[in-house]
Amino acid sequence: MNLNQIIEEILRSSQLTYLVLVFFAVSLFLYLLFLTSFSILGLWLSEAGLWLAWIPLTLIAIGFPFTIKMHFLTQINPINPFFMSIGIVANIITFMGLMIPFLQISMTNEKLKKAMEKDLGDDYLEIIEKNLIVRFTQEVKFKLIRYFLGAKARFIRKTLNIYKEIPYKRIGDMDLKLNAYAPRRVGSFPIIIFIHGGAWMLGSKDRGRDENVCKMLANHGYVVFNIDYRLFPRKANTIAEMLSDVRAAIKFVKQIGPGFGGDPKTVFLFGRSAGAHLSLLSAFTQQGPFFKEELGQYKQEDLEVSGVIAFYPPTNLEALYNFYKILAPKIAMAKIIGGKPEDKKELYQLFSPVSYLTEQNAKFIPPVFIATGLKDKLVAPTQSKELYEKLQRLNITTVLLEFPNANHGFDTIQAGPNSQLAYKYLLQFLAWVLSKEKESKQLENAETYQQTRIVLTRSERHPTTRKPFFVSTEEDEAKTNRLFTEESMKYRAEKRVEISER
């Protein structure tokens, strides 16, 4: 029996209408699932689309020949070809919608590359030093094979030392803890403190998708500390307590970092969603105590960081509150912050990172890397845009990468098209910042050397104490030379007397 005979046999079946309705129901379900990619329910659909695209494609291949045959059979109930046709159209729309992020990935990549060049300079890759201890991808591309193979978790694990449940802060009888991921190579590696998201209410340092990000970063040459912090409402009453935990973690990590191979002078904060909010808030307020209770607790160097990585961050909490059209997130925000914006406007400003972007604070704010999806339905992409524009006006190094087809949490699937690009550009940004810091230190050292030259040659040492002279200006140098001549003559005269007495 050939395919044509099988189709005719099914079309004459008494169960035809039932089969048509099943086909239509499955097609409609897939279409509605695709539509959720434009809502808060479809957070990762843009990244997983290629894995799902075969389902509508299979339904199209099955349904199309049946629908054609139905139109030529007069005894067929006209409702059947109608529902089959609608089902096929729904599947075509679903398939094309799932494929869009992949079909447009080259165009997206080109836009992201231009954004990097605009903010860091056309030659930003040339600035990156070749002998950095960290690794990055020189040419950013989406790799289809990696999408299907996923991350090499077993291989990555073999290159790392992983330490779990390290206490960093004690509150009453409770310990806040962190996990550490360090390269097994020998060296002094930059440090990244990872702060998980979860709407200030959910999440953990042990969540699998966050651990995978930490392992990937450690595999590229960073010592990564993944922290827990108090969450609302079980352990924290407000965002202030969460921020207090983050600040305590920064100080603690700087103290213990060298024991894991980390360099405490190069610390980056990396947060996603609510974690990005806390990262920004901590970095933008590092110049002084945030609460009265912190007076005397921290020096500025305890909280200083080299940069901030913020993925889809809440930056203006009052605007975010007004962005929501449904009641549930508004109620949650009001409880976490302490009231509605009209009643507690000062609290919304206090906990909004954009409130601290002033000329006075600008000199304390480090470079910032922002990534957001333009289809984000949980945190409006305008939150990232506002932050970027205000940082730019203050001449603070900032990169904003906008992903046209991405929703909130798009980078959860690391091998997805937008995720691959986001993390490759992030690694370039980190390497660029590290290179600029190294260059800045070299210039600073050169200036210091010019201002206070340490004379180390034998002839320029003090003839009696043998200590080097310190020369800071031409006038001081002339004075030092006179002193050297006088002391030298005295020293030689003493030696001549000593020899004659012998």
182-196: per-residue pLDDT in tens? 999 999 999 999 999
Mean pLDDT (whole number) for 65-86: 75
Residue with tokens 């203050």: 394
Question: Greater confidence, 297 or 487?
Answer: 297
Confidence of residue 501 (pLDDT cuts 50, 70, 90): very low
Query: Which of 6-10, 280-284, 350-354, 494-498 has the weakest average pLDDT?
Result: 494-498
Rounded CA-CA distance 268/438 in Å is 15
Averaged over 258-267, what is the pLDDT?
97
Q: Which of 101-115, 255-269, 487-501 has the lowest mean pLDDT?
A: 487-501
Looking at the domain covering 150-316+352-443, what would its CATH class be? alpha beta
Q: At 292, is the pLDDT very low, low, confident or very high (cuts 50, 70, 90)?
A: low
Q: Report the mean per-residue pLDDT for the chain.
A: 84
How far is 391 from 37, CA to CA, in rounded Å? 31
CA pair distance 398, 388, nearest whole angstrom: 7
pLDDT single digits (tens) 315-338? 999 999 999 998 999 999 999 999
Q: What is the spatial distance between Cα 412 and Cα 226, in angstroms, rounded to a whole number?
A: 16
Q: Which of 13-27, 189-203, 406-420, 478-492 has the lowest mean pLDDT?
A: 478-492
Query: Could you give the percent of the chain with pLDDT greater than 70?
Result: 78
Q: What is the pTM of this model?
A: 0.82
Distant-in-sequence, close-in-space partners of 170: CB < 8 Å, separation ≥ 6: 176
Residues 376-425: tens digit of each pLDDT: 989 999 999 999 999 999 999 999 999 998 889 999 888 889 999 999 99
Residue 224 DSSP SS3: strand
DSSP 3-state of 466: coil
Give pLDDT, residue 200. Answer: 96
The pLDDT > 90 percentage for the chain reads 56
* Cα–Cα dist 284/278, whole Å: 10
Q: Where are the domains positioned within the chain? A: 3-103, 150-316+352-443, 454-501
Q: Residue 484: its pLDDT value, please?
A: 47
pLDDT at 16 exceeding the cut of 60: yes
- What is the structure's pLDDT at 13? 63
pLDDT (mean) for 450-458: 48
Which one is predicted more confidently, 221 or 43?
221
Residue 497: pLDDT band (50, 70, 90) is very low
Q: Which backbone phi and psi does 129 adopt, to 5 degrees?
A: -70, 145
